[in-house]
Chain A
Amino acid sequence: MSFTHAPLFRSQPVGWIASVVALLLALAWHPAWLAPLLVVALTLAWAVPARPAAPPIAQTVAGARAEPVREALDDVRSALVDELGHATRELHQGLDLLRDAVSELGGGFDGLSSKTALQQSLLRQIIEVQDGDVSVQDFAARTGDLLEHFVGMIVQMSRESLRIVYRIDGMAKEMDAVFGLLRNVNTIAEETNLLALNAAIEAARAGESGRGFAVVAGEIRNLASNSNQLNEQIGGHVERARSAMEQLRGLIGAMASQDLNVALSAKGGIDAMTAHVTESDARTSAVADQAVEINRGLGSDVSTTIRSLQFEDILSQLISQTRTRLTELQEVTTECTRDIEELACAPLEADALEERAQRVRSRLAIQREKARLRSRGPALQNTMDAGEIELF
């Protein structure tokens, strides 16, 4: 009982004094209107100091154990502050590493992007060249035309050669006619010779009177023989001319008879080549188109990837926010542990104690408010397409 009464008396002196004064006043002076006033005054006197009645108990308990609590709180504080400091430094390091890595990645992807663009332009050049003026198809078509022209020329030449051959045949017929005539002339000469021989015989029979006639008959025989020789010469010439014509005919005939199979197989070869080139052209251009398409896809992939590298910004923001939080947490820890220490250990007045407790609470409330504001504060981009991030 003494444990509860003594402090009660000590802690509520105003109440007790007010009660004593009220008693004395009531005994000495007793008009009726005084009673309510006295009741109000007494209530106030008891009620006002009643509120800060609790702390002294803690104070009494804590006062005895102040030193170990202080030490423990110091330990807690230093451990927390150190740990938070480490965490901040590690975050900083992590951020630096991240920046380096991202800048290297960005450089790599930029290179990839420019090379892809170069590749694409090269492919486009190839396709443009393919679509250009002089194609292999044109070449084949022109070669085909040339071949037809060539065949046409050969056929024309054959026609003209045949015409010549037919002319030569006509001339050969004329020569045969000349031969026939020469044979007639020969017969005439032989008959003349025979006639002259007969005339010579008749002249010899006539004797001296036929001597002159015999001379004439001899001359006629000579003429017939000369005519015969001449005939033979003409026949020889005509024969040579005939054989020369025959040779000419053979030569021209050879000229007329050209093998067309070479041209024909060449034509077949050109047709096959044209078909092949057409097919291979189509295939090449299809493949080139496909390659361009793939390249375009690659380019867009790379640019998406480069865009995705912006996650570094977001992460940096997040990390620096975390660092701020940690720093604030350090301060809050320091201040609050100090206040708690004082609350726990310092022999303070009840008002001062209340004030400290209030300060700790309000400090924590401010911190909570800050955190709340931050969490819905300035646009923090916290979504990115999952597929794009998978690249890393």
Chain B
Amino acid sequence: MIVHHDSELDCLTLQLGERFDFSIHRDFHDACLGSGKPARSYVIDLGEVTGMDSSALGMLLLLREHAGADRADIRIVNASGELRGTLRVAGFDKLFVLH
């Protein structure tokens, strides 16, 4: 997982690896759920992700809570068709901006 913070825009970009599941929960926590002020906006790049389980969705929900719930600006980009299908079944198309 590659984390990049654009300090000018206060935008945190997470570029995830092949697997987006429980195995990276610690990294995810350290990257964006830790103590401290949340960023103004987040970009979650799923371009390389091939496997995703429910904990990934749980992490995204926690991030949304952390970033201010309804005020959160989180964009999920480069998701494959299958991943988009999963996100839609879970109703994430109403909670996040899917590109």
Chain A residues proximal to chain B, CB less than 8 Å: 147-148, 151-152, 154-163, 165-166, 169, 253-254, 256-261, 263-264, 267-268
Q: Could you tell me if B90 and A152 are in contact, using CB atoms closer than 8 angstroms?
A: yes
Least Cβ–Cβ distance between B94 and chain A, in angstroms: 11
In the complex formed, the residue of A with least CB distance to B33 is: A166
Q: Does B43 contact A (CB under 8 A)?
A: no
Q: Could you tell me if B89 and A158 are in contact, using CB atoms closer than 8 angstroms?
A: no
- Of the stretches B1-9, B10-18, B55-63, B70-78, the one at the interface is B55-63
The 8 closest A-B pairs by CB, nearest first: A158-B58, A159-B58, A258-B54, A158-B54, A256-B55, A257-B22, A159-B61, A155-B57
Write 21 A-B pairs (CB below 8 A) sorted by A numbering. A151-B89, A151-B90, A152-B90, A155-B57, A156-B61, A157-B54, A158-B57, A158-B58, A159-B61, A161-B55, A162-B25, A162-B55, A162-B58, A163-B62, A169-B29, A253-B22, A256-B55, A260-B53, A260-B89, A261-B86, A263-B89
Q: Could you tell me if B22 and A260 are in contact, using CB atoms closer than 8 angstroms?
A: no
Q: Could you tell me if B53 and A258 are in contact, using CB atoms closer than 8 angstroms?
A: yes
Q: Could you tell me if B89 and A267 are in contact, using CB atoms closer than 8 angstroms?
A: yes
Q: Does B91 contact A (CB under 8 A)?
A: yes
Q: Could you tell me if B62 and A162 are in contact, using CB atoms closer than 8 angstroms?
A: yes
Please give, as numbers and ranges, the residues of chain B lying within 8 Å of A154 by CB-CB distance: 54
Q: Mark B22-37, 1 if CB is under 8 A from A, else 0.
A: 1001100100010000
In the complex formed, the residue of A with least CB distance to B21 is: A257
In the complex formed, the residue of B with least CB distance to A261 is: B86
Q: How many A-B residue pairs have CB under 8 A?
A: 77
Least Cβ–Cβ distance between A256 and chain B, in angstroms: 4
Q: Does B98 contact A (CB under 8 A)?
A: no
Least Cβ–Cβ distance between A269 and chain B, in angstroms: 12
A257–B22 CA distance with the chains assembled, in angstroms: 6
Q: Could you tell me if A260 and B54 are in contact, using CB atoms closer than 8 angstroms?
A: yes
Told that A148-B89, A166-B25, A257-B54 touch, could you supply 14 new A-B pairs with CB distance under 8 A? A152-B91, A155-B54, A155-B90, A157-B54, A159-B57, A159-B62, A163-B62, A169-B26, A258-B55, A259-B54, A260-B54, A260-B89, A260-B90, A263-B89
A160–B58 CA distance with the chains assembled, in angstroms: 8
Q: Does B68 contact A (CB under 8 A)?
A: no
A256–B82 CA distance with the chains assembled, in angstroms: 20
Please give, as numbers and ranges, the residues of chain B lying within 8 Å of A163 by CB-CB distance: 62
Looking at B26, B33, B54, B86, the one whose CB has the most chain A CB atoms below 10 A away is B54
Q: Does B49 contact A (CB under 8 A)?
A: no
Least Cβ–Cβ distance between A296 and chain B, in angstroms: 47
Please give, as numbers and ranges, the residues of chain A lying within 8 Å of B55 by CB-CB distance: 158, 161-162, 253, 256-258
Chain B residues proximal to chain A, CB less than 8 Å: 21-22, 25-26, 29, 33, 52-55, 57-59, 61-62, 82, 85-86, 89-91
A268–B82 CA distance with the chains assembled, in angstroms: 11
Least Cβ–Cβ distance between B1 and chain A, in angstroms: 16
Decide yes or no: A259 and B61 within 8 Å by CB, A148-B89, A152-B90 being known contacts.
no
Least Cβ–Cβ distance between B63 and chain A, in angstroms: 10
Please give, as numbers and ranges, the residues of chain A lying within 8 Å of B25 by CB-CB distance: 162, 165-166, 253, 256
In the complex formed, the residue of B with least CB distance to A266 is: B89
Least Cβ–Cβ distance between A379 and chain B, in angstroms: 79
Please give, as numbers and ranges, the residues of chain A lying within 8 Å of B22 by CB-CB distance: 253-254, 256-257
Q: Could you tell me if A155 and B29 are in contact, using CB atoms closer than 8 angstroms?
A: no
Please give, as numbers and ranges, the residues of chain A lying within 8 Å of B33 by CB-CB distance: 166
Decide yes or no: A166 and B29 within 8 Å by CB, A161-B58, A258-B54, A259-B53 being known contacts.
yes
Least Cβ–Cβ distance between B27 and chain A, in angstroms: 12
Decide yes or no: A264 and B89 within 8 Å by CB, A162-B55, A165-B25 being known contacts.
yes
Q: Could you tell me if B58 and A147 are in contact, using CB atoms closer than 8 angstroms?
A: no
Please give, as numbers and ranges, the residues of chain B lying within 8 Å of A160 by CB-CB distance: 58
In the complex formed, the residue of B with least CB distance to A256 is: B55
Please give, as numbers and ranges, the residues of chain B lying within 8 Å of A148 by CB-CB distance: 89-91
Please give, as numbers and ranges, the residues of chain B lying within 8 Å of A151 by CB-CB distance: 89-91
In the complex formed, the residue of B with least CB distance to A144 is: B89
Please give, as numbers and ranges, the residues of chain B lying within 8 Å of A258 by CB-CB distance: 53-55
In the complex formed, the residue of A with least CB distance to B28 is: A162
A254–B23 CA distance with the chains assembled, in angstroms: 10
In the complex formed, the residue of A with least CB distance to B52 is: A260
Q: Could you tell me if B86 and A260 are in contact, using CB atoms closer than 8 angstroms?
A: yes
In the complex formed, the residue of B with least CB distance to A263 is: B89
